[in-house]
Structures are given as structure tokens and as C-alpha cells.
């Protein structure tokens, strides 16, 4: 991984409704939302539940554990900021709670990643000290 002080990779533009997710990441916590009506968890941050439209979903800390649902090893970078990382893994992680999210899989040989691999959350520091949730082998 590149030096965090000069990590050129993008940081998200944060919206009001998703602020608790990114605030959690800065504390080292992966946050997830839960529907007040059905009790079911979901990703990503929303203003309402996609299951029953109930408002104001509950924010809670996720276990941070998950499984690689699918992955690819990226050899050609999308743009210059990811050049130093190549080859890197782009993966869909299925959280133990059920919902899925996009991530990279860090701290391992990219070509060793497989579907079904157990992973746990970690945090990558980008410019300005901003942390984004990532996954690594559990």
C-alpha cells in the first residue's frame, strides 16, 4: 500500500444522510443500517428502509466479518491514483450480517484471493488522514 501521507486515491464526497457511516470509519468502526420496521440490515446508507419505507433507519456497528462473494485482480489501473497499487483486488464482500459491499482486499498476495475466503474489516488512510473501510484475510 502507498504511503498514507501521500495516498492519492479518492476520498468520497460525504452526504448528510451517510455521515454516520464515514464518522464510524474515522473511529475504526464499520457501520451498517437496520430497518426499523422489518429489523433487516442493509447497505448502503439510505434515508429510508428499502424493505418497507420506514424512516430513519438505525445505525449500528457491524461485526466487521465477511466473506469474498466475488473478486477480480486488477492489472490495468483505472487512472493514475491506483497505478502504484496494481495488481490489486476489487471484491464484493458479503458481511456476516448479510448485506454486500464493495471493497479491496488488502494485506495479502492479490492472486491468493478466492471466492468464499473469510475476511475482516480494516481501515486504509487516505489524504488528509481520511479512513475508508477495507477488508483483509481474517
Partner 1 sequence: MKPLAAIVAVSEMKPGRYPNYNGMEMYRQVISQFLREWPQLRPSDIGGLLSAPAGMASADGTDVFAHEKISEELGIEPTFSETINAGGGTYALMLIRASLAIERGLCDSVLCLGAGRFPNVGSGMAEMMSKLISHPEFEYPYGTYIPPIFALNATRHMHEFGTTREQLAQVAVSQREWSLLHPDALMAPQGRLTIDKVLSSRPITYPFNLLDCSVPSEGGSAVLVVSPKIAQRYAKKPCFLYGFGEKHTHSSISQAHDLTTLGSRETSAQAYRMAGVGPKDMDFAQLYDSFSINPIIYAEDLGLCAKGQGGAFFAGGRTAPGGEFPVNTYGGLMSFGHVGDASGQTMIVEAARQIMGIAGEARQLKKADLGVVHCYGGMMSEHATLVLGSAS
Residues making contact with partner 1 (CB under 8 A): 9-15, 18, 43-45, 69-79, 81-82, 85, 88, 90-92, 100-104, 115, 126, 132
Which of 138, 89, 96 has its CA nearest to residue 117?
138
Looking at the Cβ atoms of 3 and 76, the one nearer to partner 1 is 76
Shortest Å distance, C-beta 48 to partner 1: 15
Looking at the Cβ atoms of 65 and 73, the one nearer to partner 1 is 73
Shortest Å distance, C-beta 15 to partner 1: 7
- Cis-peptide, bond into residue 44, ω within 30° of zero: yes
Looking at the Cβ atoms of 6 and 13, the one nearer to partner 1 is 13
Spell out a b/e string for 84-95, using b for 16 or more CB atoms within 10 Å of the CB, else e.
Answer: ebeebbbbbbbb
Looking at the Cβ atoms of 53 and 79, the one nearer to partner 1 is 79
Q: Is 119 exposed, middle or buried (0-12, 13-18, 19+ CB in 10 A)?
A: buried
Shortest Å distance, C-beta 37 to partner 1: 20
Looking at the Cβ atoms of 37 and 78, the one nearer to partner 1 is 78
- Which runs of consecutive H residues, i.e. helices, occur in the chain? 19-26
Shortest Å distance, C-beta 33 to partner 1: 12
Shortest Å distance, C-beta 43 to partner 1: 7
- Which runs of consecutive H residues, i.e. helices, occur in 53-108? none
Please say whether the beta carbons of 41 and 34 come within 8 A. yes
Amino acid at each position: 500500500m502507498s504511503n498514507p501521507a501521500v495516498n492519492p486515491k479518492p476520498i468520497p464526497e460525504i452526504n448528510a444522510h451517510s455521515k454516520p457511516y464515514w464518522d464510524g470509519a474515522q473511529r475504526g468502526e464499520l457501520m451498517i443500517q437496520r430497518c426499523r420496521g422489518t429489523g433487516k440490515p442493509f447497505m448502503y446508507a439510505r434515508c429510508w428502509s428499502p424493505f418497507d419505507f420506514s424512516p430513519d433507519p438505525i445505525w449500528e456497528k457491524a461485526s466487521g466479518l465477511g466473506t469474498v462473494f466475488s473478486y477480480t485482480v486488477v492489472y490495468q489501473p483505472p487512472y493514475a491514483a491506483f497505478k502504484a497499487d496494481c495488481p490489486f483486488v476489487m471484491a464484493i464482500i458479503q458481511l456476516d450480517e448479510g448485506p454486500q459491499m464493495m471493497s479491496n482486499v488488502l494485506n495479502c498476495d492479490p492472486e491468493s484471493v478466492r471466492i468464499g475466503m473469510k475476511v475482516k474489516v480494516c481501515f486504509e488512510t487516505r489524504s488528509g488522514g481520511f479512513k475508508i473501510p477495507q477488508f483483509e484475510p481474517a
